[in-house]
């Protein structure tokens, strides 16, 4: 927070105020901290003056707030997400709505709801006491978390979506779409969780069309999240030592089997959840230790008997770049292992598929042996005979031609006859 105010005050005229040369030096940092402390004194008067100064270059123009404070609002939402800093967002929005006299363009940006609200606000929204709210959380009717600050103070925070859904629902069961929103997963992933008994669904008959559809208990969903230690917010969610589950899904594990294996590891505590991100909700908010995940991922990779592309290329006696091109063209079945072994996405090939690749394609020394020609000219010989390869080397790159056995056998029936 101090860095945010110092940067936007000290480098107000800069295009990118937070990009400060030499920011690791005390002589550069101390003036920023001094100005940041000034903004926070006499709250909220100095903060309001800071916003007025920030919009001063465009005073009198109807678009000044949109142009100058739109960037400020985006920075606030991205950098200062912790629930204890909500007072900054509230005062900023109060400043905007008090001074904006024209139609507020894209007003939803300023009204965008944070996924968490305080226990006091949730109780007020539901019209109940804090004790009654705590009972709802303990009984998994509403999803709540506890935030512990550095000085040891613990506050109750509640997921906004769970409170709104609790008010809206007319019965004990919710639809798959509503359940997927609470868990922050796709409908297909939710069906996987149901199919593999992570969640229990009830089939309900629709009287109007005699069709059947599934319903889930909202209480069961929150109990499932609680079993994954979802109810404790981590104070340093942006630390490099942590990785959020949604980043693992996006950049690391791909496929339904990997998703289920990860959920099972979280539930069995093989991969321990260290807390949740206060800026996210559902399964996406879960945080795990980055190093612990890498160790678990290596064990999973080993258990799946997967080979990396270099390993598979050596086993097949094929050029590595050629195998990458086959994978890119989806001519070889692959699984994505993650982005932990270089700039290329780490693709894996099951050991069981190595034999299938050999049966389907022919290349390299085997092709030359069957044709009785030198390795360097075997591919060219088939090209001149009209046989089309499934993959060929790029100009200036190593590697030969890859043909399907079926094509070669049908064109030259005597070649592969034993």
Residue ranges of alpha helices (H) inside 275-317 are 290-303, 309-316
Please give the average per-residue pLDDT across 166-190, as a whole number. Answer: 81
Please give the average per-residue pLDDT across 311-322, as a whole number. Answer: 87
Task: Please report the pLDDT score of residue 264 as a whole number.
Answer: 92
The phi and psi torsions of 218 (rounded to 5 degrees) equal -60, -35
pLDDT band at 211 (very low <50, low <70, confident <90, very high): very low
pLDDT at 71 over 60: yes
The larger pLDDT score, comparing residue 213 to residue 251, is at 213
Do the Cβ atoms of 258 and 265 come closer than 8 Å? no
pLDDT at 81 over 70: no
In terms of average pLDDT, the best of 67-76, 94-103, 183-192 is: 183-192
Please give the average per-residue pLDDT across 19-39, as a whole number. Answer: 71
Tell me how far apart the alpha carbons of residues 359 and 366 are, in angstroms, rounded to a whole number. 12
Please give the average per-residue pLDDT across 269-279, as a whole number. Answer: 85
Tell me how far apart the alpha carbons of residues 130 and 259 are, in angstroms, rounded to a whole number. 37
pLDDT at 251 over 70: no
Non-local (6+) Cβ contacts of 384 within 8 A are none
The larger pLDDT score, comparing residue 145 to residue 322, is at 322
Beta-sheet pairing, 232-233 with 242-244: unpaired
- Residue 287, helix vs strand vs coil: strand
Q: Which helix (H) or strand (E) holds 224?
A: helix 218-227
Task: Please report the pLDDT score of residue 9 as a whole number.
Answer: 61
Distance between start and end Cα atoms, the chain: 76
Task: Please report the pLDDT score of residue 237 as a whole number.
Answer: 67
The larger pLDDT score, comparing residue 389 to residue 336, is at 389
Please give the average per-residue pLDDT across 328-340, as a whole number. Answer: 74
In terms of average pLDDT, the best of 23-32, 57-66, 278-287, 352-361 is: 352-361
pLDDT band at 109 (very low <50, low <70, confident <90, very high): very low
Q: Where are the domains of the chain?
A: 2-112, 232-303, 306-354, 360-411
- How many angstroms separate the Cα of 210 from the Cα of each of 172, 204, 214, 318, 382? 21, 10, 13, 57, 61
Tell me how far apart the alpha carbons of residues 123 and 117 are, in angstroms, rounded to a whole number. 10
Tell me how far apart the alpha carbons of residues 175 and 165 are, in angstroms, rounded to a whole number. 11
pLDDT at 12 over 60: no
Task: Please report the pLDDT score of residue 110 as a whole number.
Answer: 45
pLDDT at 102 over 60: no
pLDDT band at 399 (very low <50, low <70, confident <90, very high): low
Of all residues in the chain, the percent with pLDDT exceeding 90 is: 3
Task: Please report the pLDDT score of residue 282 as a whole number.
Answer: 86
Task: Please report the pLDDT score of residue 263 as a whole number.
Answer: 92
pLDDT at 290 over 50: yes
Mean pLDDT of the chain: 76
- Counted residue by residue, the chain has a size of 418
pLDDT band at 317 (very low <50, low <70, confident <90, very high): confident
pLDDT band at 265 (very low <50, low <70, confident <90, very high): very high
DSSP class of residue 102? S
> Which two three-digit tokens encode residue 133?
């709210």
pLDDT band at 377 (very low <50, low <70, confident <90, very high): confident
Q: What order of strands is seen across the sheet that includes strand 173-175?
A: 173-175, 211-217, 201-206
b/e per residue 145-170 (b: at least 16 CB within 10 A): bebeeeeeeeebbbbbbbbebbeeee
Q: How many CB atoms lie within 10 A of CB 212?
A: 9
The larger pLDDT score, comparing residue 110 to residue 82, is at 82
How do residues 39-48 score in pLDDT, each as one tens digit? 788 888 888 8
pLDDT at 347 over 80: no
Please give the average per-residue pLDDT across 400-407, as a whole number. Answer: 86
pLDDT at 301 over 60: yes
Task: Please report the pLDDT score of residue 169 as a whole number.
Answer: 64
- How many angstroms separate the Cα of 298 from the Cα of each of 234, 290, 339? 26, 12, 12
């Amino acid at each position: 927070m101090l860095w945010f105010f110092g940067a936007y005050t000290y480098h107000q005229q800069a295009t990118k105020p937070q990009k400060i040369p030499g920011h690791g030096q005390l002589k550069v940092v101390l003036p920023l901290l001094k100005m940041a402390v000034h903004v926070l004194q006499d709250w909220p008067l100095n903060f309001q003056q800071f916003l007025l100064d920030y919009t001063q270059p465009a005073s009198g123009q109807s678009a000044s707030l949109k142009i100058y404070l739109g960037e400020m609002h985006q920075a606030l939402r991205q950098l200062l997400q912790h629930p204890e800093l909500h007072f900054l967002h509230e005062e900023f929005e109060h400043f905007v709505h008090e001074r904006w006299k024209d139609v507020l363009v894209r007003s939803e940006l300023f009204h965008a709801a944070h996924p968490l609200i305080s226990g006091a606000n949730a109780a007020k929204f539901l019209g109940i006491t804090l004790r009654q709210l705590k009972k709802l959380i303990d009984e998994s009717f509403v999803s709540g978390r506890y935030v512990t600050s550095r000085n040891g103070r613990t506050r109750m925070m509640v997921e906004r979506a769970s409170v709104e859904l609790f008010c809206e629902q007319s019965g004990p069961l919710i639809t798959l779409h509503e359940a997927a929103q609470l868990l922050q997963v796709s409908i297909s992933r939710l069906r996987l969780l149901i199919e593999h008994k992570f969640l229990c669904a009830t089939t309900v008959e629709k009287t109007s069309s005699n069709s059947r559809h599934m319903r889930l208990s909202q209480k069961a969903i929150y109990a499932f999240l609680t079993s994954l230690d979802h109810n404790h917010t981590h104070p340093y969610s942006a630390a490099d030592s942590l990785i959020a589950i949604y980043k693992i899904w996006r950049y690391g594990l791909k496929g339904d089997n990997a998703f289920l294996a990860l959920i099972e590891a979280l539930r069995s505590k093989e991969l321990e959840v260290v807390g949740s991100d206060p800026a996210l909700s559902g399964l996406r908010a879960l945080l795990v230790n980055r190093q612990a995940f890498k160790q678990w991922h290596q064990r999973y990779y080993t258990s799946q008997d997967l080979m990396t592309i270099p390993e598979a290329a050596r086993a097949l006696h094929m050029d590595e770049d050629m195998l990458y091109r086959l994978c890119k063209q989806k001519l070889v079945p692959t699984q994505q292992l993650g982005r932990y072994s270089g700039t290329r996405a780490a693709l894996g090939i099951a050991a069981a598929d190595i034999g299938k690749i050999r049966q389907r394609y022919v290349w390299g020394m085997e092709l030359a042996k069957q044709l009785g020609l030198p390795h360097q000219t075997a591919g060219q010989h088939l090209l001149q005979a009209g046989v089309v390869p499934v993959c060929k080397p790029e100009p200036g790159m190593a590697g030969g031609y890859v043909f399907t056995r079926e094509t070669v056998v049908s064109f030259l029936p005597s070649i592969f006859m034993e």
